[in-house]
Amino acid sequence: MPRLPRLRGRNAKIVATLGPTSRSSKTIRLLAEAGADIFRLNFSHGSHEDHRQTFDNIRTAEQAIGRPLAILADLQGPKVRVGAFPGGKLKLGFNKEYALVAAEDTDQPDTIPVPHPEILEALEVGDNVLCNDGMIALTVTAAGKSPRVKSDFPAELSDRKGFTVRGKALPVQALTDKDRADLDFALELGVDLIALSFVQSVSDIETVQAIIADRAPLIAKLEKPAAIDDLENIVAAADGVMVARGDLGVEYPAEQVPIIQRRIVRAARAIGRPVIVATQMLESMIDNAAPTRAETGDVATAIYQGVDAVMLSAETAVGRHPATAVAIMSRIIRATEHAEDYRDSLRQFMGDRSQELTIDVIARAAQALAYAEKAAALTLRTGSARRLAQFSKHRGRYMILYGSQEASRLRKAQLLWGVHPIHIADIDTDDWPLTLLKTAELEGAVAYAAWKGDGSDDAAWELGLRR
């Protein structure tokens, strides 16, 4: 991989979703040059051949710009949908009742087919049912063998629209047959990160981790109430988490979503799990060349909370100005990270220091050494993604230049706040810290931390300084 030409002046990372308007190698290169660090392949859309071509285009762009680019495969997860109606839609009247039947379609009037009998069996009187991403609200009036719902307001329900029960754990597995096939394909391609949708329990995470077998970190998308109810355990089990605000906004009232976002960020940061905030961050830029002031504030809020990454979805997948959206998000990140109160805000989302591990103390010591010696940067050598994440967790003042000979490790490191991965031909020489500093086009002293242990020995670190 070519040497890194220049470091960006920011610590939080940008995830850009690729789609019809952005998956060419030329556009991907533009997105990377504008500041994208991770590219998301959304397996809810497109064929395997489409994703293979996009994957190859990312790797081509990576070679052209000379820095690692990570690839995130986002699995679709179970999509509970209604079936088909005569004429393709059903007009719902205010307070009018409708029968629910376990079928792919129906020709009966005032009937909603739902081809998921296990979901219908789980309904209880009073449950709130939402369709079409929450745009249609129904209330369950009868349960059991003949469930019924009433429409809370007039609406039009079309074929195959989403169907969910607000605030209820559904008897559906996170990994569908389609997801398993997509997962196998993504791992065969060599993607760097996997995102799992519809996580409701630790067992969902453990099932997929067993299949992945350490080939890629698993990012748990937090979008279901059952996951929020068991938040600390799920965050601990995953390799990282995503605040999936779109689906959270269906499951919870809109005013609760910012509160849940803060909870998730705190839980992740407390134990050093990378956290991504996603959905509608610069939504107006799907069509417009500039974001709204509210969207700018939304991105800045996530950065003030100290998240590892913020994600663009439709803005870069189908939007008219994908590279501009990335460039503007990068500018917002940089401006926020240079604000006077930024570091004060970061501390509000730190965990309890009384619960720190040995590696937390070492990470703080490395940052303190860099500060005391007025170093240009902190360099790090370790083969463990978890140990690297613990150094990132503390949101130190010094950027972490992470050196490795392995391209896959460098790509995975792109998810972590403040970590700048750099390829080094020989990481075992005595001058590796100075080599990283020179490659990053920095001058001066450099602090370093190198793991010298074996297995789980987190205390076996060497800290030092090179000039």
Do 217 and 360 have their domain in common?
no
Task: Determine the average pLDDT of the residues in 371-395.
Answer: 94
Banded model confidence at residue 143, pLDDT cuts 50, 70, 90: very high
The number of residues in the chain equals: 467
Asked if residue 197 lies in contact with residue 238, where contact means CB atoms within 8 angstroms, the answer is no
Same domain, yes or no, for 221 and 330? yes
User: Could you tell me if 216 and 119 lie in one domain?
Assistant: no
State whether 192 and 250 are in the same domain.
yes
Cα 236 → chain centroid: 16
What does residue 3 show for φ and ψ, rounded to 5 degrees? -70, 155
**Which of 306, 331, 347 is the last residue in one of the domains?**
347
pLDDT given for residue 275 in this prediction: 98
* Domain shared by 241 and 304, yes or no: yes
* DSSP code, position 82: -
- 187 and 107 in one domain? no
Q: Of 364, 339, 366, nearest to 463 (Cα)?
A: 366
- Shared domain for 424 and 363, answered yes or no, is yes
Each residue of 192-244: pLDDT tens digit?
Answer: 999 999 999 999 999 999 999 999 999 999 999 999 999 999 999 999 999 99
Under the banding of pLDDT at 50, 70 and 90, the label for residue 7 is low
pLDDT at position 2, please? 36
Residues 240 and 335 in one domain: yes
Domain boundary among 291, 320, 347: 347
CB count within 10 Å of CB 269 equals 25
Residues 184 and 285 reside in one and the same domain: yes
Poorest-confidence range of 4-8, 288-292, 417-421, 448-452? 4-8
Reading the block at residue 232, the tokens are 């600390």
* Per-residue model confidence as pLDDT tens digits over 278-317: 999 999 999 999 999 999 999 999 999 999 999 999 999 9
Could you tell me if 336 and 357 lie in one domain? Answer: no
Alpha helices in 305-421 (DSSP H): 314-317, 322-337, 342-348, 358-372, 385-393, 407-413
pLDDT, position 8: 61
Q: Report the CATH number that the domain containing residue 102 is assigned in CATH.
A: 2.40.33.10
Hunting for tokens 């906004």 — which residue is that?
A: 249
Res. 3: pLDDT tops 70: no
pLDDT at residue 337 in the model: 96
**Domain boundaries, position 202:** 13-77+173-347
Residue 400, helix vs strand vs coil: strand
Please report the pLDDT score of residue 411 as a whole number.
98
Residue 32 lies in a domain: yes
* Of 352 and 437, more confident: 437
- 12-50 in b/e burial notation, b at 16+ Cβ within 10 A? bbbbbbbbebbbbbebbbbbbebbbbbbbbbbeebeeee
In this prediction, residues 343-357 reach a mean pLDDT of 83
At 125, list the tokens: 């009187």
Asked if residue 3 is part of any domain, the answer here is: no
Per-residue pLDDT tens digits for 10-52: 999 999 999 999 999 999 999 999 999 999 999 999 999 999 9
Total domains, the chain:
3
Question: What is the average pLDDT across 400-415?
Answer: 96
**Together in a domain, 190 and 66:** yes
Mean pLDDT of 328-346: 95
Instruction: Please compute the mean of the pLDDT values over residues 365-387 and round it to a whole number.
Output: 94
Condensed to tens digits (0 to 9), the pLDDT of residues 78-133 reads: 888 999 999 999 999 999 999 999 999 999 999 999 999 999 999 999 999 999 88
Confidence of residue 4 (pLDDT cuts 50, 70, 90): very low
Stated pTM of the model: 0.92
Q: Considering 347, 377, 408, which residue would you say is the last residue of a domain? A: 347
Judge if 371 and 413 occupy the same domain.
yes
Residue 83: per-residue pLDDT? 95
pLDDT, greater one: 360 or 1:
360
* DSSP structure string for 198-251: S--SHHHHHHHHHHHTTSS-EEEEE-SHHHHHTHHHHHHHSSEEEEEHHHHHHH
